[in-house]
Amino acid sequence: MKSVLRFLARYARRNVPQYLLGGVMLFATNYVVVRIPAIIGETLNVLEARGTDALRSSQALALELVVLGLVVIVVRTLSRVLFFNPGRDIEYRLGVDIFGHLLHLQRPFYMRHKVGELASIASNDTQAVRLLVGFAGLQVCNVAVAIPLHLYQMWRTDPVLTLWCLAPVTLGGLYMRWTVRRFFGMVRDSMQLLARLSDRVLESYTGIGTVRAHAVEDATLERFEDRNAEYLRLQLRIAAIRSFSMPVLGVSGMVATAIVLWVGGQRVLDGHIPVGSMATFTTLLLSLVGILMALAWVLAAVSRGVVSVGRVEDVLATADGLPPVEDEARIVDPPRLQLRDLSFTYPDGDEPALAEISVTVEPGHTLGIFGKTGSGKTTLINLLSRVQTPPRGTVLLDGHDATALRLGVLREAMAVVPQAPFLFSSTLRDNVRLAEANPWAHEGKHEGGEPPDDPRLREVVAAACLEEDVRQLPQGLATVVGERGVMLSGGQRQRASLARALYRSRPILLLDDVLSAVDQGTEARLVQAIRNLRGGTLGEHPPTTVIVSHRTSVLEHADEILVLDHGRVLERGTHAELVARGGLYAQTHLHQGREAEGGER
């Protein structure tokens, strides 16, 4: 609980003035609420005396009652505004911090946590934290203020009755303490189940095409129903405990009220207290019981909020896993890329994914990577782009250790096309121009909301062989491609991803099997576009390029080619040299050439 309070204090620090003023309004609210029963009792006592003076006194008390009623409306509203608004503010800042932190966490974190779990934390848990610091915070403070004020006024009215009614109320409080212990564990389990349920839903929606293609809708629905039923059962247990808490507290309050009427009535008849005091005490007790019954709702909000704070804190406390920045160098021109005995083993792996890779790529030159599936080609690209962190001193850029550079500086110098391209649910234009943050906002818009002409965009669209596809799209480059580019074919997504990399025009270009889903004719044109990069056709300086492919025709232009097998260099040399040796590369080249000839026939 201390860690929860420290976490909340860190976020609520700037809202302290609002909370303090809200606390003042809350005290004023409860003071007036306690004062009103006292006025009612005084009025009854005055009316018992009868006479003209009694009438005038009762009228004055009635006027005071009306004024206090209006005051309650004002101060109660202010107390809620002053507590709820900081809750919304904290929810906003917490959401921004979570999203910003997730942007900087590395691949191992996302291998441990599923998207649905993170989405649940960013939405459901931040909402629960908002309720904790807003609604629940208000109610907890209200209970902390109201109970002492009520007990003080009840004691002033009649100490004997106060002692009599405390017994059943205390029993209700003990029951709530027992409930809290069970409630926290169940709420924690329910939040974890909700995260898994969210992940199942997101996974099913994302793969809806695959589900339908294999006609497994019923099986997918059954798995969802099983998880949903498990979540439902736990939620019903939580609801049962919460629902039972209110009657228990209500019964304890009714028992206390019955005791007050029994004992208090006798005390009125014996002349120990007037009727007005009896009315005051009963009204105060009923108000106190109402406050205690609200504890059932507060318990739910606090339990869920505390669990959510722990889950949010776990994410925010996760270190980014990056080595310290020791070199503030920036990469402006195409660098010399050196790999020195690069070896890498995944944390959960037994065998090295790469072993003793050494090569030097001169500025503006191209390195080709060839190998069978599982040979370590994508791992190499991930290490160069620091999706995975390579061992120190194994990847050098112009002599600078890549692990010592600031990650943002390194990524800014690279244009990377991954093996599985990802497109956002936006226009094709925005996807290609992803490198620009709101790229044409500062340039202004033409009438009709059209962006200004971008020669660079036209150039890379042509280089990526997307011109014909763009003409066939309903709105050209302004066509929304759908979630993950679902409106485009696999080859179109790859070419759009390549166009994005070409648009960036960075000193380093990393291509991971980007032509695997295109036909041979398109491949030839794309290979020519990549060759043009070497001559600077699409930029002032040709980038230092690493291109991975299982097609030998894509690698023909490379200055050097590494043939990988089980993470080790099996062969190396130019295309002509490798073909002449008759090894794996030459055999694959011959086989692919025959397939191409057969396809042409």
Last residue within a domain, chosen from 287, 316, 345? 316
User: Residue 424 falls within a domain, yes or no?
Assistant: no
Task: Give the separation between CA 567 and CA 442, rounded to whole angstroms.
Answer: 47
Residues 248 and 389 in one domain: no
Whether the pLDDT of residue 229 is over 90: the answer is: no
Strand pairing class (400-401; 366-371): unpaired
Token pair 């850029």 in the structure block, residue: 397
User: Residue 455 falls within a domain, yes or no?
Assistant: no
- pLDDT, residue 206, reads 67
pLDDT band at 490 (very low <50, low <70, confident <90, very high): confident
User: Residue 394 falls within a domain, yes or no?
Assistant: yes
User: Residue 359 falls within a domain, yes or no?
Assistant: yes
- pLDDT, residue 504, reads 79
- pLDDT, residue 161, reads 87
Task: Give the separation between CA 84 and CA 180, rounded to whole angstroms.
Answer: 24
Q: Number of H helices and number of E strands within the chain?
A: 22, 10
What are the pLDDT digits (tens) for 211-223? Answer: 777 777 788 788 8
- pLDDT, residue 447, reads 43
506, 333 contact by CB (below 8 A): no
Residues 308 and 358 in one domain: no
C-alpha distances (whole Å) from 509 to each of 122, 516, 538 are 34, 18, 13
CA nearest neighbour of 427 among 449, 444, 447, 446: 449
Residues 254 and 376 in one domain: no
Task: Give the separation between CA 286 and CA 295, rounded to whole angstroms.
Answer: 15
Task: Give the separation between CA 403 and CA 426, rounded to whole angstroms.
Answer: 34
Which conformational region is residue 399 in: left (phi greater than 0), alpha (psi within -120 to 50 degrees), or beta?
left
pLDDT band at 237 (very low <50, low <70, confident <90, very high): confident
Tokens for 335, please give them: 């660098």
Look up the CATH number of the domain holding residue 139: 1.20.1560.10
What are the pLDDT digits (tens) for 367-421? Answer: 999 988 888 888 999 899 888 888 898 999 988 888 888 888 888 888 888 888 8
Task: Give the separation between CA 174 and CA 541, rounded to whole angstroms.
Answer: 76
User: Residue 475 falls within a domain, yes or no?
Assistant: no
What are the start-end ranges of the E strands in 443-551?
Answer: 508-512, 544-548
Residues 336 and 295 in one domain: no
Query: Facing residues of 547 across strands?
Result: 368, 511
Residues 270 and 209 in one domain: yes
What are the pLDDT digits (tens) for 416-439? Answer: 888 888 888 888 888 888 866 544
pLDDT band at 445 (very low <50, low <70, confident <90, very high): very low
- pLDDT, residue 449, reads 45
The neighbour count for residue 144, using CB atoms within 10 Å, is 12
Whether the pLDDT of residue 577 is over 50: the answer is: yes
Task: For residues 337-341, give the mean pLDDT.
Answer: 92
Residues 309 and 336 in one domain: no
Domain count, the chain: 2
Residues 272 and 403 in one domain: no
Last residue within a domain, chosen from 316, 347, 371? 316
pLDDT band at 599 (very low <50, low <70, confident <90, very high): low
The neighbour count for residue 348, using CB atoms within 10 Å, is 7
Residues 135 and 283 in one domain: yes
Look up the CATH number of the domain holding residue 583: 3.40.50.300
Whether the pLDDT of residue 314 is over 70: the answer is: yes
Whether the pLDDT of residue 536 is over 70: the answer is: no
User: Residue 544 falls within a domain, yes or no?
Assistant: no
Residue type, 126: T
Task: Give the separation between CA 248 and CA 168, rounded to whole angstroms.
Answer: 10
Residues 227 and 269 in one domain: yes
362, 545 contact by CB (below 8 A): no
Residues 293 and 343 in one domain: no
Residues 337 and 312 in one domain: no
Task: Give the separation between CA 491 and CA 421, rounded to whole angstroms.
Answer: 10
User: CA angle at residue 209 from 206 to 211, to 5 degrees?
Assistant: 90
Task: Give the separation between CA 372 and CA 563, rounded to whole angstroms.
Answer: 9
Non-local CB neighbours of 162 within 8 Å, separated by 6+ positions: 151, 154, 155
The dihedrals phi and psi of 320, each to the nearest 5 degrees, come to -70, -10
- pLDDT, residue 88, reads 92
Whether the pLDDT of residue 24 is over 90: the answer is: yes
Strand pairing class (354-361; 414-417): unpaired
The dihedrals phi and psi of 374, each to the nearest 5 degrees, come to 85, 10
| Better pLDDT: 396 or 207 | 396
Distance of CA 564 to the CA centre of its chain: 38
| Better pLDDT: 258 or 3 | 258
Whether the pLDDT of residue 180 is over 50: the answer is: yes
Burial bucket for residue 164 (CB in 10 Å: 0-12, 13-18, 19+): middle
Tokens for 550, please give them: 């299982």
342, 390 contact by CB (below 8 A): yes
Strand pairing class (568-573; 560-565): antiparallel
Residue type, 530: I
User: Residue 152 falls within a domain, yes or no?
Assistant: yes
DSSP 539: S
Tokens for 145, please give them: 């203020």
Coil/strand/helix, residue 536: coil
What percent of the chain is predicted at pLDDT more than 70? 89
Tokens for 342, please give them: 């690069």
Task: For residues 546-550, give the mean pLDDT.
Answer: 88
User: Residue 33 falls within a domain, yes or no?
Assistant: yes
Non-local CB neighbours of 547 within 8 Å, separated by 6+ positions: 366, 367, 368, 369, 509, 510, 511, 514, 530, 554, 555, 558
Task: For residues 11-17, give the mean pLDDT.
Answer: 88
CA nearest neighbour of 322 among 387, 382, 380, 379: 387
**DSSP codes joined into one string, 541-559:** SPPEEEEE-S-HHHHTT-S
Find which of 77-81, 460-464, 487-491 is predicted with most confidence, using mean pLDDT.
77-81
For residue 208, give its domain range.
2-316
Q: What is the mean pLDDT of the chain?
A: 81
What are the pLDDT digits (tens) for 45-96? Answer: 777 766 556 556 767 777 888 888 899 899 999 999 999 999 999 999 999 9
What is the C-alpha end-to-end distance of the chain, expressed in Å?
74
Non-local CB neighbours of 241 within 8 Å, separated by 6+ positions: 179, 182, 183, 186
Last residue within a domain, chosen from 256, 284, 316? 316
Non-local CB neighbours of 397 within 8 Å, separated by 6+ positions: 331, 335, 336, 337, 338, 405, 410, 413, 508
Tokens for 85, please give them: 């608004």
Q: What order do you get walking across the sheet with 560-565 strand by strand?
A: 414-417, 508-512, 544-548, 366-371, 560-565, 568-573
Find which of 85-94, 171-180, 246-255 is predicted with most confidence, using mean pLDDT.
85-94
Residues 267 and 304 in one domain: yes
